[in-house]
């Protein structure tokens, strides 16, 4: 403990001196200034908050390092720096101050951090800030892991896609051409053209990391980690540092576009051999984690090929016998973010559970699950140290902070130990959040969140917005976002109605799978039921000032509701909604099927290609395409779409907007030529939010 106190004192001195011993830049983005008026949480206030990123607990459990990103609107970008505090949340010190962001924090020992910065892996002595570049990776480094014995590193970098010879010769002498020639599928993915692919490399680590002689562990042009979500969680060392387990989908082109069949592979460093641990399991297998004794390995596993939203099972293999066990065969929820307890008697993970994300523990012998954490929050990830859980936790009312729990807890509410945004959040008022369970048209119970206006007065009435979730197999949990932020909507003086309609996760397999092949069915009835319920039962909601909004599948939902917003009993003019906003939504299913890249998605959820008219599911699915109901549109609509969304391409939004104008509606089109499925650039996000509020204020106030 004495060593820790001295170290923290040194950190505070280092921070006060501007980190002169470490790398410091004059153009570093720091905490911005923002004015809060009347306690209102605005988009500008939201973007002034610090965003917690990576976190890591020191080997002795006494310190936590984490990154915080602040954003500068003038520069239109953010920057992440590293902070360190005690594991009790005391003596916070900023230990980097550079123009480039730091990420992927790893403790080498109790006094030394390793991390990435641009294309470098850097080592820092935390006590005095002295830095040493351990490796420079020519094509950039996306992350790394340090072997338990400290003698090697596995890092992620990319390889370029090489054009086949018969195509490459066509480019001879054309160094300025921008043309692309493709002869296979998956030439673009989510938000990037596939010009490179990630792979993992094993390098010895002595005084420095031997990048020059690093060995690639993947035997062809396959991705590891898998795009677009995978990172360092997709591979791990064994406790004895002699083996590496990793995730890979050994498919390319059309095979990749049609399949979700990834596997868990085990690489033996000494023999340089690889074996497939999940052979015969046809869905996603990912994120392997060794037990502390090295005898077992656990991973997240889906059963069915082509179904990206299948239940994520907890799969465990005994490495001595080769036996595989589905630990969650009697547990009807997803299990992710695997961690073994110190004694290997339990396996802990995050479970999407009834509108929240909680830590659960599975008994490694009995396969019984127990709930460790409880409350209105979402836990994104967590780390175990000394019998404690250090969790990255958010809710609809606060951004990421670090909370601590005990591993032995049962349905416990955690203790917050970080305070990244307390000073700013103390100046704002957040809207109250209520949990409601309402009856659906078929008599089931549906969780719907009701968020109040920040300045709620029970003697007044307010407009309300129905929030339509994307996914479609995702969750309306206690999330915090810089796009769909319920507190910004609350700060704009709206009620928000947020149903966990059919298809959301966290309510069992049956509820989730009810949406596939039925996009225009019960899930849409769920939305209308929720809107009607609150419009009728909350007297402070003005039922003649209802709007609806959503993105992706939520954007599709808005387009579908636009075509079914007539003849509704109990509303003026027969219109339930008086204004609509759709972001990056599917408008024309036939168009969507031929434009998207991950064909397995539409093959599963729509039943296949639209020309397969002998397939009853295809007939039913494509009959729900919103473009078929434009003649029924009668409500002002704002359409938003982005050019680099390769999941649902920009022509979908343009077609929807053009259709609205052609039938004579008041319509607006917000187009981003440089954004993806999300809006990530700070100034673009501010425009998005200002447009959002202005559109609904214009039509509902």
Of 255, 305, 253, the closest CA to residue 278 belongs to 305
Which are the contacts of 20, defined by CB distance < 8 A and separation ≥ 6?
Answer: 129
What DSSP string runs through 332-371?
Answer: -S--EEEEE-TTSSEEEEEEEETTEEEEEEEETTT--EEE
Starting at the edge strand found earlier in the chain, the sheet holding 120-125 runs 102-109, 112-117, 120-125, 131-136
SS3 of 566-608 = CCCCCCHHHCCCCEEEEECCCCCHHHHHHHCCCHHHHHHHCCC
Catalytic residue among 189, 377, 583, 677: 677
Chain centre to alpha carbon of residue 279 = 28
- β-pairing, 388-395 vs 378-385, is antiparallel
Q: How far is CA 457 from CA 86, 425, 452, 496, in A?
A: 42, 21, 10, 15
| DSSP for residue 311 | -
Catalytic residue among 552, 557, 642, 685: 552
Of 195, 189, 303, the closest CA to residue 256 belongs to 189
Q: Which two tokens stand for residue 443?
A: 């008599």
What DSSP string runs through 420-448?
Answer: SSHHHHTTS-PPPEEEEEEE-TTS-EEEE
Chain centre to alpha carbon of residue 460 = 37
Q: How far is CA 56 from CA 52, 67, 106, 387, in A?
A: 12, 10, 7, 15
Chain centre to alpha carbon of residue 354 = 18
Let me know if 645 is a catalytic residue: yes
Q: Which residue has the tokens 């031929």?
A: 594
| DSSP for residue 19 | S
Q: Answer positive or negative: Cα dihedral of 254, 255, 256, 260.
A: positive
CB contact at 8 A, 344 and 364: yes
Catalytic residue among 97, 378, 645, 685: 645
SS3 of 123-147 = EEECCCCCEEEEEECCCCCCEEEEC
Burial level of 73, CB count in 10 A (0-12/13-18/19+)? Answer: middle
Let me know if 341 is a catalytic residue: no
Let me know if 258 is a catalytic residue: no
Which are the contacts of 233, defined by CB distance < 8 A and separation ≥ 6?
Answer: 225, 287, 337
Strand intervals (E) in 120-210: 120-125, 131-136, 143-146, 152-160, 188-189, 192-193, 196-204
Q: Answer positive or negative: Cα dihedral of 364, 365, 366, 367.
A: positive
Active site residues: 552, 645, 677
């Amino acid at each position: 403990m004495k060593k820790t106190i001295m170290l923290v004192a040194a950190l505070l001195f280092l921070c006060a001196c501007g980190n002169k011993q470490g790398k410091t830049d004059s153009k570093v983005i720091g905490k911005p200034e923002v004015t809060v008026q009347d306690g209102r949480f605005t988009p500008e206030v939201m973007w002034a908050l610090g965003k917690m990123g990576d976190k890591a607990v020191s080997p002795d459990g006494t310190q936590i390092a984490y990154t915080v990103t602040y954003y500068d609107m003038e520069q239109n970008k953010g920057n992440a720096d590293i902070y360190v505090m005690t594991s009790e949340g005391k003596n916070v010190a900023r230990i980097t101050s550079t123009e480039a962001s730091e990420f992927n924090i790893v403790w080498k020992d109790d006094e030394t951090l390793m991390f990435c910065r641009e294309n470098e892996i850097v080592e820092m002595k935390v006590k005095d800030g002295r830095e040493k570049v351990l490796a420079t990776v020519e094509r950039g480094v996306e992350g790394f892991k340090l072997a338990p014995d400290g003698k090697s590193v596995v890092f992620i970098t990319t390889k370029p896609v090489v054009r086949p010879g018969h195509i490459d010769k066509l480019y001879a002498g054309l160094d300025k051409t921008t043309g692309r020639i493709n002869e296979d599928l998956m030439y673009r993915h989510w938000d990037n053209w596939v010009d490179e692919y990630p792979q993992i490399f094993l390098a010895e680590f002595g005084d420095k990391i031997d990048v020059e002689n690093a060995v690639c562990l993947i035997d062809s042009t396959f991705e590891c980690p898998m795009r677009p979500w995978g990172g360092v969680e997709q591979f791990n060392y064994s406790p004895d540092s002699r083996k590496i387990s990793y995730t890979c989908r050994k498919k390319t082109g059309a095979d990749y576009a049609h399949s979700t069949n990834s596997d868990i592979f085990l690489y033996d460093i000494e023999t340089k051999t690889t074996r497939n641990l999940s052979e015969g399991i046809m869905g996603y297998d990912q994120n392997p984690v060794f037990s502390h004794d090295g005898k077992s390995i656990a991973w997240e596993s889906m059963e069915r090929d082509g179904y990206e939203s299948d239940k994520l099972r907890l799969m465990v293999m005994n490495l001595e016998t080769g036996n595989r066990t589905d630990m969650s065969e009697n547990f009807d929820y997803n299990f992710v973010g695997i961690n073994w307890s110190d004694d290997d008697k339990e396996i802990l993970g995050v479970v999407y559970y009834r509108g929240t994300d909680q830590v659960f523990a599975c008994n490694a012998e009995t396969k019984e699950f127990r709930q460790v954490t409880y409350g209105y929050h979402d836990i994104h990830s967590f780390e175990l140290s000394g019998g404690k859980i250090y969790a990255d936790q958010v809710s609809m009312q606060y951004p990421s902070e670090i909370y601590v729990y005990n591993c032995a807890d049962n349905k416990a509410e955690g203790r917050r130990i970080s305070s990244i945004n307390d000073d700013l959040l103390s100046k704002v008022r957040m809207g109250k959040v209520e949990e409601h369970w309402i009856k659906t048209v078929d008599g089931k119970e549906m969780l719907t969140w009701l968020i109040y206006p920040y300045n709620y007065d029970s003697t007044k009435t307010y407009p309300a917005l129905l929030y339509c979730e994307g996914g479609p197999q995702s969750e309306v949990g206690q999330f915090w976002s810089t796009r769909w932020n319920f507190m910004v909507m609350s700060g704009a003086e709206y009620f928000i109605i947020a149903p966990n309609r059919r298809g959301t996760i966290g309510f069992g397999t049956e509820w989730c799978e009810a949406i596939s092949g039925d996009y225009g069915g019960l899930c849409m009835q769920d939305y209308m039921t929720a809107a009607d319920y609150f419009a009728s039962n909350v007297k402070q909601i003005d039922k003649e000032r209802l709007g609806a909004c959503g993105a992706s599948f939520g954007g599709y939902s808005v387009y579908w509701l636009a075509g079914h917003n007539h003849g509704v009993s109990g509303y003026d003019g027969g219109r339930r909604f008086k204004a609509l906003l759709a972001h990056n939504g599917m408008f024309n299913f036939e168009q969507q099927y031929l434009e998207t890249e991950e064909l397995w998605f539409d093959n599963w959820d729509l039943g296949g290609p639209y020309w397969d008219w002998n397939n009853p599911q295809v007939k039913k699915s494509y009959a729900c395409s919103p473009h078929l109901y434009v003649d029924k549109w009668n409500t002002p609509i704002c359409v938003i779409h982005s050019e680099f969304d390769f999941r649902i391409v920009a022509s979908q939004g343009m077609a929807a907007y053009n259709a609205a104008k052609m039938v004579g509606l008041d319509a607006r089109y917000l187009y981003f030529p440089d954004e993806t499925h999300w809006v990530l650039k700070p100034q673009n996000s501010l425009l998005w939010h200002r447009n959002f509020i202005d559109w609904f204020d214009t039509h509902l106030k």
